[in-house]
Amino acid sequence: MAKKIISGSTGAMTVFANGRELNDVTSVTLPDVEMPTTEIKGAGIMGTLNIPQTGQVNAMTVEITLRRTGKDKAYLMAQGKVDIEVRMATDVRASDGSMYVEGTKIFATGYATKIGNGKAEPGSTRDESVSYSVTRYREIIDGEETMLIDQESKVFKVGGKDRMREVRSILY
């Protein structure tokens, strides 16, 4: 029988931009991965179907939220292209009752597109943010690559399966 696991919360996190550790990060919103679709209708189909377009991925966005204005925000905005790395430690419980920590690393390459200046409120953090248009996204969980999307190189791998291999072989 397979070992059942229950993933818990993120216990700790570190965020880097171009190799520099950011100190005021409160959260990182990771991108949704969405394939655009084409609506198909006609004989042999009851109604319409939305079929994913092979080789296409919609725009992806990563948002870094900061406690306050400061050097981290200034650094993030002064960069052109930014390589973001997020390291997370997640608590996991196995079916045998044992507990362990699982590591996740997220890598994203993008360009700043939006500054959220947050709010000014006594007793609260500013909750400022910087959003990035992402062209490359990679996720590694416990040393295993679970996802790699590189829009400029036409790479889309999920769980080790290269969904763009056939397309690249046709195009190149």
Is pLDDT larger for residue 2 or for residue 34?
34
Q: What is the pLDDT of residues 87-146, one digit of tens each?
A: 999 998 888 888 889 999 999 999 999 988 888 889 888 888 999 999 999 999 999 999
Does the residue 119 lie in any domain? yes
For 30-44, 54-68, 70-84, which range has the lowest pLDDT when averaged over its residues?
Answer: 70-84
3-state secondary structure of 75: helix
Range of the domain at 115: 5-33+53-136
Place of tokens 């409160």: 26
Over 60: is that where the pLDDT of 2 sits?
no
Does the residue 164 lie in any domain? no
Over 80: is that where the pLDDT of 74 sits?
no
With contact defined as beta carbons under 8 Å apart, do 6 and 47 qualify? no
Over 60: is that where the pLDDT of 1 sits?
no
Over 80: is that where the pLDDT of 63 sits?
yes
Give 5's contacts (C-beta < 8 A, 6+ positions apart): 92, 93, 94, 95
What is the predicted pLDDT for the residue at 82?
Answer: 93
Does the residue 69 lie in any domain? yes
Does the residue 98 lie in any domain? yes
Q: Which of 108, 107, 106, 110 is nearest to 79 (CA)?
A: 110
Report the phi/psi class of residue 23: left, alpha or beta, with left for phi > 0 and alpha for psi in -120 to 50: alpha
What is the predicted pLDDT for the residue at 69?
Answer: 65
Give the chain's domain count: 1
Does the residue 132 lie in any domain? yes
Q: How confident is the model at residue 73 (pLDDT cuts 50, 70, 90)?
A: confident
Does the residue 129 lie in any domain? yes
Does the residue 166 lie in any domain? no
Does the residue 10 lie in any domain? yes
Residue 32 CA to residue 70 CA, distance in Å, equals 28
